[in-house]
Amino acid sequence: MRRFALIAVPYLWLLALFLVPFLIVMKISLSDIALAIPPYTPKLDLTGGWDAVTSFFKALDFENFEFLTSDDLYWKAYLSSFKIALISTVLALLIGYPIAYSMARAAPEWRPTLLMLVILPFWTSFLIRVYAWMGILSNEGLLNQFLLWTGLISEPLTILNTNTAVYIGIVYTYLPFMILPIYSTLEKMDDSLLEAAEDLGCSRTSAFWLITVPLSKTGIIAGCFLVFIPTLGEFVIPSLLGGSQTLMIGKVLWEEFFNNRDWPVASAVAIILLLILIIPIILFQRNEQKQREMEG
Amino acid sequence: MAQEPLFEPWNDPSEKPLIQFKNVTKRFGDFIAIDDLTQDIYEKEFFALLGPSGCGKTTMMRMLGGFETPTSGTISIAGQDMNNVPPNKRAVNMMFQSYALFPHLSIYENIAFGLRRTDMAKDAIDARVNEMLKLTRLEKFAQRKPHQISGGQRQRVALARSLAKAPKLLLLDEPLGALDKKLRQDTQFELMDIQEKTGTTFVIVTHDQEEAMTVASRVAVMDEGRIIQVATPDAIYEAPNSTYVADFIGDVNLIKGTAELRVSSKPAEQTTPETLEAPADPFVDDTPRPQPNKLGEWLHDKVLSPIIGERDEPIKRLPPPSAAELTATPEVTSDIPEGGIALNWSDQHPAIIVSNGDEAQDGKALTFAIRPEKLNIAKDKPDAANALQGTVIDIAYLGNVSTYHVELKGGQMIKAQMANARRLAKRDITWEDTVWVSFTDTAGVLLER
Ligand SMILES: Nc1ncnc2c1ncn2[C@@H]1O[C@H](COP(=O)(O)OP(=O)(O)OP(=O)(O)O)[C@@H](O)[C@H]1O
Ligand SMILES: [Mg+2]
């Protein structure tokens, strides 16, 4: 009985915080837009008895999903989000791996400090940090002032409100999510493995590619998903740092919801996004499990 | 077996050592892991390092493998100074104490790893790996990952991986510790076989002295970063140079006392001719020393004695034991030759007669060391050079032998080991019996430190 209770806790958690909201959003996505509060129909009226419930279900349809396919804005936004998430993930990996590697190689007494420095940005609100980037990247911002001062440029660079600013923002924000899992796999790695590889005739470089990289594979995969998954639906960074040409599904969702007040279409967009994300989430879970098996 | 040509390159001045440690010191911060170590190791040797945990065995191996550089001194392999040669440029393979198997590669790929770094052909690699798998009896596990096999199997993979490249020098850091006795013995013989076939030089760390005795051409006993004694297994067992070595290798009884020249009828004449005889041998230098040159002794025993007869002076160090001597229970005789040392150690017992004791040790405080199996115990006083009376305190039955713990009068404890020729019920010595512990005048050695 206690065992059952223990297992039930996470499932109840999942039910309350994931499944119920999902079903609500799903229901809205199948409704029609209406000038009302809330702005959709039909509404489930349980006082009306069985007839009310059946007529409610009859009123639901997939119109909104069909609408998403009719307007190419949506699939372009999905595609563009996908591209931005992918490029950001690769950039974060290229920057994060060397950082994680040097952290893992640092003297053991330094490692907690370095780890702290990686986590430190989380102590400030994410929004404030994104606003800070606006201050840095704008035409009169710190970066341009600095570059003008060094004489490298004579005209201020336009970075803010471009895709470049979006990439900078995303990579900056999600870098710790890349560094931490990679660091944790690298730190666990036994140095004598590299010695053994060298002993068997590897150079330092080939030992890195043949031993270190494969052994940090689970960390790399975990880091990539942890960056890719939230970036795909990212809304704040593209709307604050991006320009009008920055097309991301998170932004579209926001506009449908708040500007157009079209809750059903916004919900449909969200459902599709979720379905797209299920694949990488499952792959991520697989990876985690594999790593646990390797260690067990 | 007995008449094989002797393999003793360390006694041959023309032989060049494969490995030379010259005044090597290794410090970790303030800690001295290896202390001014000078040692030669010869080609085709099976050199065993023995010593307590933390004495620097692994450090010595790691310096040979190129993973640590000496703080001072030089290590050369085949005459080449190795101090700046990285591990991958050395014809040396090491089996790590922690195995260091690559967790992401199968057993097969682990063993093939070193071969794939060479320009060996694919099918040649495959053949070699299969040979190694067969040798270590791992064929069934070839496709598994290291975390899917047992500890002993992992150890065998590590061994196979280090053997695969057939290096000139193989460093094995406790290669067989996790194996059961049967498999360990098989692998020991396998190693000796490999060594015979390939001529590989082995340096092996072991905690198991039986293993060192079985496989090694020479054994080095280490303590706190120094080598205390290097000798063949039998010499290190029969003629340890210190109580430390005697105590570390096997069981030993230690009795402290003061040496006294034995009262003999003609001591002066007996010793004079022997010192005159020595310079006649070209291999013996004539600087005065307390003990005869080992090489001279060896030459005399092995080469000259059939022609000119046995040495007539007392032997000062024990010769390696013959097979008969090793198996037979020590024979007790009252036929005590002249000379040697008597060790006064207790007022309740007669002095211990050590006829192979060095007369130059007269008056010194010495320790008498004797192996338990060299002792005989009996209820009646035997007719022996040395007989000490005591009480049986404890008997440990070990199957083939029994160890008797005897407390001598005055409190000294003595361990005596006797073969269990008779069934347990038939033996006549039991607890609390008063017994005589006896041994010959040449059964033990006198040690200065
Ligand atoms: N990297 C290091 N830093 C500091 N001290 C070290 C280091 N490596 C070894 N030592 C110390 O040097 C000494 C010798 O270590 P070593 O590993 O050679 O011992 P060992 O003889 O192989 O022992 P064991 O039989 O337990 O394997 C030990 O006291 C150890 O603590
Ligand atoms: Mg060790």
A93: Cβ contacts below 8 Å, ≥ 6 apart:
A178, A220, A223, A224, A227
Task: Please report the pLDDT score of residue A123 as a whole number.
Answer: 92
Asked, as a colleague might, if the bond just before A42 is cis with ω within 30 of 0, I would say yes
Q: Which ligand is nearest to the CA of B29?
A: 1
Where would I find the beta strands (DSSP E) of B224-339? Answer: 226-231, 253-261
Most confident of A95-104, A273-282, B240-249, B294-303: A95-104
Rounded Cα–Cα distance for residues A170 and A230 (Å): 10
Mutate which of B27, B30, B57 for ligand 1 pocket (most atoms within 8 A of beta carbon): B57
Tokens of B164: 């695969």
Tokens of B144: 């598994």
Please tell me the residue having the least CA distance from ligand 1 atom 24.
B53
Between A and B, how many CB-CB pairs are < 8 A? Answer: 60
Give this prediction's pTM: 0.74
Pairing of the two strands B92-95 and B169-173: parallel
A200 touches chain B (CB under 8 A): yes
User: pLDDT tens digit string along B298-348?
Assistant: 666 766 666 666 655 544 455 555 555 555 444 444 566 777 788 888 888
Mean pLDDT of chain A: 89
Q: For the domain bounded by B9-251, which CATH number is listed?
A: 3.40.50.300
- Chain B residues with CB inside 8 Å of A107's CB? none
Closest chain A CA to residue B170: A199
ipTM (interface predicted TM): 0.78
Q: Is the pLDDT of residue B220 over 90?
A: yes
- Domain range summary for chain B, segments of one domain joined by +: 9-251, 254-267+323-447
Q: Is the pLDDT of residue B284 over 60?
A: no
Tell me the nearest-neighbour CA distance from A116 into chain B, angstroms: 28
Fold of B254-267+323-447: OB fold (Dihydrolipoamide Acetyltransferase, E2P) (2.40.50)
Which of A52-66, A100-114, A279-293, B313-327 is the least confident region? B313-327
Cβ-defined contact of B113 to A197 (cutoff 8 Å): yes
Tokens of B258: 């003061």
Q: Rounded to 5 degrees, what are φ and ψ at B262?
A: -75, 140
User: pLDDT tens digit string along B372-422?
Assistant: 888 888 888 888 888 888 899 988 888 888 888 999 888 888 899 888 877
Mean pLDDT over A270-294 rounds to: 85
Task: Please report the pLDDT score of residue A209 as a whole number.
Answer: 95
- Domain range summary for chain A, segments of one domain joined by +: 67-295
SS (HEC) of chain A? CHHHHHHHHHHHHHHHHHHHHHHHHHHHHCCEECCCCCCEECCCCHHHHHHHHHHHHHHCCCHHHHHHHHCHHHHHHHHHHHHHHHHHHHHHHHHHHHHHHHHHHCCCCCHHHHHHHHHHHHHCCHHHHHHHHHHHHCCCCHHHHHHHHHCCCCCCCCCCCCHHHHHHHHHHHHHHHHHHHHHHHHHHCCHHHHHHHHHCCCCHHHHHHHHHHHHCHHHHHHHHHHHHHHHHCCCHHHHHHCCCCCCCHHHHHHHHHHHCCCHHHHHHHHHHHHHHHHHHHHHHHHHHHHHHHHHC
Q: Is the pLDDT of residue A211 over 90?
A: yes
Cβ-defined contact of B100 to A195 (cutoff 8 Å): yes
- Of residues A155, A139, A144, A87, the one with CA closest to residue A243: A139
More confident residue, B420 or A219: A219
Tell me the nearest-neighbour CA distance from B94 into chain A, angstroms: 7
Rounded Cα–Cα distance for residues B176 and B95 (Å): 11
Same fold, B9-251 and B254-267+323-447: no
- Of residues B219, B176, B174, B167, the one with CA closest to residue B198: B167
Mean pLDDT of chain B: 81
Ligand 1 residue neighbourhood (C-beta within 6 Å)? B 28, 31, 33, 51, 53-59, 97
H/E element holding B37?
Answer: strand B31-41
Q: For the domain bounded by A67-295, which CATH number is listed?
A: 1.10.3720.10
Q: Rounded to 5 degrees, what are φ and ψ at B370?
A: -140, 135
User: pLDDT tens digit string along B93-124?
Assistant: 999 888 999 999 999 999 999 999 999 999 99
H/E element holding B391?
Answer: strand B386-397
